[in-house]
Every structure is written in structure tokens, then in C-alpha cells.
Amino acid sequence: MIQLFHIYKAYPGDPPALSDINLSIDKGEFVFLTGPSGAGKSTLLKLLFLAERPTRGQILIGGRNIARLRDSGIPFLRRNIGVVFQDFKLLPRRTVADNVAFTLDVLGVPRSESRERVMKMLKRVGLEHKADVLPPRLSGGEQQRVVIARALVNDPAILLADEPTGNLDPALTLEIMDLLCDVNVRGTTVVVATHDQSLLERYAKRTIRLERGTIVSDEDGIQAARRVASAG
Amino acid sequence: MSATAKAAYFWRSAVLGLRHSPFVHSVAVSTLAIALFTAGLARGAMRMLDGLKDTLGGEVEVTIYLDDSVTPERGRALASALAERTGGEATWVSPDEALTRLSRELGDLADTVAELPENPLPASVELRVPPPLRSPEKLAALAREARAQEGVTAVDYGEAAVERLSAISRALQVGGGIAFLVIVIATVIITSATLQLAIYARREEIEIQKLVGATDRFVKAPFLIEGLLQGLLGGAVAVIALWAFSRWAGPRVDELFAFLVGPGRSWTLVDGRALVEVMAVGAALGLCGSFVAVGRFLKV
Ligand SMILES: Nc1ncnc2c1ncn2[C@@H]1O[C@H](COP(=O)(O)OP(=O)(O)OP(=O)(O)O)[C@@H](O)[C@H]1O
Ligand SMILES: [Mg+2]
């Protein structure tokens, strides 16, 4: 589903944020991206939805080399990728339902149909009773669930999450992580960047560790579970 | 279906934008309205003047006075030569006929004419000038030419009136043109500035739109519609103002007209054509402003 070959990314003036990254993520996988601050986790995710372009190398998504995609093609790539950030990026003056519907508005889905899909999605994240509330009146965890609903309402093949629980307390963190696992179980490929060690241990999924722009380890879910078990 | 849903979204989004910052948008709308109102007034004044010129122009007549040595035959020949040269109508008027006319015009005072010992009036040729020759320059040339003929004592035409009217209408045209250009530039700058603010106010929304896969055109369309709406609103306000003004001023102007060229005309600023023109110009200005704003400030 996602393949990177010899990816380099250098921001002007800085040492390379990523160098010679090679990795492959299968359809339906759940992957943690971890490593210290500044390791290049966010940069790697940004390359996947073309918020940044790689300096060198190839990125295949669904078999297509997106490193060469023209700017006019970017919107169509993004319609197939849901993105979730640490800061929620909800529109404060639109209702929860309108915020989620945003993704469908862009696709030209008529309001009548869109409302139905939005309500179904809100139900999935447990917020159907908050559809007509404005986001500032929601808790952090609820806001993040709205963001996830917005990212998923269009049924994208891939969900990218950059520190999705970074602003949340431990209980809400688990709530969000459980939701992401549920999304993955339903078939969406999920990539989560986090430096929260406890998450890696609790969920025991494939974990790719970055340090100073290179991959230092890549263990699959079974290895991760084993390591956690022996440590515990 | 998808296209209509998008169109519905754009309009919703544009209307939301207008409601979102009513003050900023009302500045743009009033600027547009004032500009269009002024333009509408200028247009009305111009048309009034044109009307006046036409009415006066219809009576442009050159009178060429002849001295007593000119025989009626030569007078008639002169008239037909002039008619042929100018393509107008020329008639020879004998002194007797001139006197008859004068006494008719004098009405009650006609007796005084009858008491005159001899006819003081000269013979003349009256030329009804055809439209192509009615400009002040051409009339002056014609008069000069006629004056140069033998036996011509004087040439008379409504030179002062014609020249003044033409000068006013020329000045109005030039002034109106310059004013219109200034207005166009000013309104485009102001509408584009307000839309720049609108774009700034919605930068988060734009960021999210792009995140979820909106195309450039999708992001830009609501702002173009917002500009269009501003233009149409400005146009509507201007039309209403013009209508109110012409209700107020119309009777006064009609009186003036009646005094100058006789009754039977009525003057209005808002007819069907003016309505369409003002709205169309407003829409075009609003769209121009939003194109400028979107082109300069919306880097997607
Ligand atoms: N827009 C940018 N312009 C210049 N340099 C950048 C930019 N974004 C990131 N960098 C640099 O690239 C490197 C990797 O940054 P990145 O944000 O990918 O790290 P990260 O692993 O996500 O860190 P964190 O855990 O703190 O979020 C850092 O050295 C950072 O300073
Ligand atoms: Mg980061």
C-alpha cells in the first residue's frame, strides 16, 4: 500500500530531516512511527500526503509514484488519505456535523446524502448526540474524535495520525487509540506517529523507530508483543 | 448532481462569508453603490444633454442675409447651390415674406410693422443644416464659406448655443470617462481588499479544505461568488438610490426641459436599460475585485 525507496528530505538550510528511508507498509497494517523529537516522524507523514515533497527518492501509494505527482493531482491523492493532527483543526463556528461534512462538501456530495453519512460516522465515534454542538463546547477527546470522523467519513484507504493523543490525558488517550484500532480492524491502513512509550507497549503493533532522520529499528507486532512480555 | 451540490456549497459558503463580517462587506458594497450611483447620474446627465442637443440640433438653421443688389433669381440660384452642396434644404426668402413673418410673430404689435415707411428687412437664404454638418466646426466653416460669396452681408446661426452645448457634452464625456476609470480602479481595489480580509479570516477553513482534498478551483469559487454578490448588492443599492433621486429631481428637470425646448418630455435615471447596465457593471466590478484578491492572496 505504501512503499518508500531511498527517500531523502532536506529543508533548506538544515541538515537532512530524513535520509535514505526505505520501508513498506501493507494494506490493512497498523504502524507506529516513533523516535525522539526532531527525528523526522512528522516529516515522513507529511511526505505521504504531499504536504512536503521529498528531495529525492520514490514514494509509491497504491502502486503510484506520488513523488512525481503534479500539484493539480494532490487533491485527488488526499481524498484517499485521512489526516489527524495533534491540534484538532476544527472550525469553531461550525457545528460538529458541519465539520465532519466538510470532507464530503469538497467531493460535491449533496447535503441530504452527506448528512446521513455524517451521522453514521458520528455514531461510530460515539458522538451522534453532539452533532449540532459547536466544537469549543466539547472535551479534548471528543474534539479529536470529531477530527477522526472528518478524516474517515469519506472512507479513505489510509489514515495518518500525527501525535493524535498529544494533547489528551491518559484516559482520553486510550479512548482515541481504541478508536484507531477499531478503524484499522475495519480495513483502513493506519500510521500513527507518537513518542508516547506507554502506547507502544500497551498496543504492541509494528513499530518503526526513527532517529536523526534514519530508521534505526522496525519490529513487527509479534516481536513487539514478545519484547513487552519479557520486559513485563 | 455532484456539480449542483458543489454550486449549492459555493453559494452557501459565499453567503456565510458575507454574513460573517458584515461591516467589512458593507464598506465594499457602499463603495460600489456610491460609484455606481455616480456613474448612473453622469449617464443620466449625458443623456439629458444629448436629448437637448438633438432638439436644438433639429433646428440648426443658417440664415444668410443678402444685400439689395442681389436679384431674386440669383438668390434662388444661391439657395439651390447651397442645398446641393450641403445636402440640406435651402430656401430663398424675399424681403416681403420676411416682413410678413415678422408681423405674424409680433402678433399684437403687427400694426407697428404696417406703419413702417418701407421694408427694412433684407432678402435671405435659409438653410436647414443636415445632421452630418451640425458640429460647431462644420457650421463655422459653412458660415465662412457663405460669407465669402458676393452679395452676402451677414451669416447667422445659433453658434453660441450649439458651441456651448457641444463643449459641455464633450467635457462631460471626457470627465465622465476619467471619473469612470478612477471609479473602476478604486472599487476594484476596495472590493479586492475586503476579499483579502475574507480570505484571511477563513485561512483555517482553507487549510482544512486543502487537507481533505479540495481543488484550487473549489477553494477559490466561494470568494469569486462573494465578489459577485458584493457587486450585485452594490448595484441594487445604486439602482434604488438612482430611482429615489430621479423621483425627487425628475419633475424639476422636466420643468427645465419644458422651459428650454417645450413640454412633453420626461426625464428619468432608471429605465430598464439603466437597471441592467448598473447591475452588470456592479457584477463585473465585484468579480474583478475578487479575481484580483484570489489571484494575489490565495496561494493554493
Ligand atoms: N518546515 C520546516 N522547515 C525547516 N525545518 C523543518 C521543518 N519541519 C521540520 N523541520 C526540521 O526537520 C527535522 C525533523 O522534524 P519533524 O517535525 O519531522 O520531527 P518529529 O520527529 O516530528 O519531532 P516531534 O516529535 O517533536 O514532533 C527537525 O530538525 C526540524 O527542525
Ligand atoms: Mg512531529
| Atom of ligand 1 lying closest to residue A45 CA | 18
Residue bearing cell 451521522:
A119
The whole-angstrom distance between residue B6's C-alpha and the CA centroid of its chain comes to 42
8 A C-beta contact, residue A33 and residue A44:
yes
* Mean pLDDT lowest among B51-60, B102-111, B122-131: B51-60
The whole-angstrom distance between residue B13's C-alpha and the CA centroid of its chain comes to 39
Q: Is the pLDDT of residue B198 over 90?
A: no
What's the pTM value of the predicted model, to 2 decimals? 0.74
Q: Which of B181, B185, B86 is closest to B142 using CA atoms?
A: B86
| CA A219 to ligand 2 center in whole angstroms | 21
Range picked from A116-120, B40-44, B45-49 for highest mean pLDDT = A116-120
Residue bearing cell 503493533:
A205
- The enclosing H or E element of B289 equals helix B272-297
- Domains of chain B are 3-56+163-299 (no CATH), 61-157 (3.30.70.3040)
Cross-chain Cβ contact A72/B204 below 8 Å: no
Q: How far apart are CA B220 and CA B267, in angstroms?
A: 43
* Mean pLDDT lowest among A40-44, A197-201, B4-8, B26-30: B4-8
Q: How far apart are CA B297 and CA B291, in angstroms?
A: 10
Here the ipTM equals: 0.87
By three-state DSSP, how is residue B40 classified? helix
φ and ψ at residue B127, rounded to 5 degrees: -115, 125
Would you state the pLDDT for residue A146? 94
Q: Which residues of A touch B3 (CB under 8 A)?
A: 108
Cross-chain Cβ contact B216/A72 below 8 Å: yes
CB of A230 sitting under 6 A from ligand 1: no
Q: How far apart are CA A205 and CA A202, in angstroms?
A: 9
Q: How far apart are CA B133 and CA B80, in angstroms?
A: 17
Average pLDDT over residues B195-201: 86
Taking each helix axis from N to C end, the angle separating B2-20 and B22-57, rounded to the nearest 10 degrees, works out to: 100
Taking each helix axis from N to C end, the angle separating B22-57 and B159-201, rounded to the nearest 10 degrees, works out to: 160
Cross-chain Cβ contact A77/B213 below 8 Å: yes
Percent of chain A predicted with pLDDT > 70: 99
Alpha helices by DSSP H, listed for chain A, are: 41-48, 74-78, 96-107, 111-124, 140-152, 170-185, 197-203, 221-231
8 A C-beta contact, residue B31 and residue A133:
no
Residue bearing cell 425646448:
B261
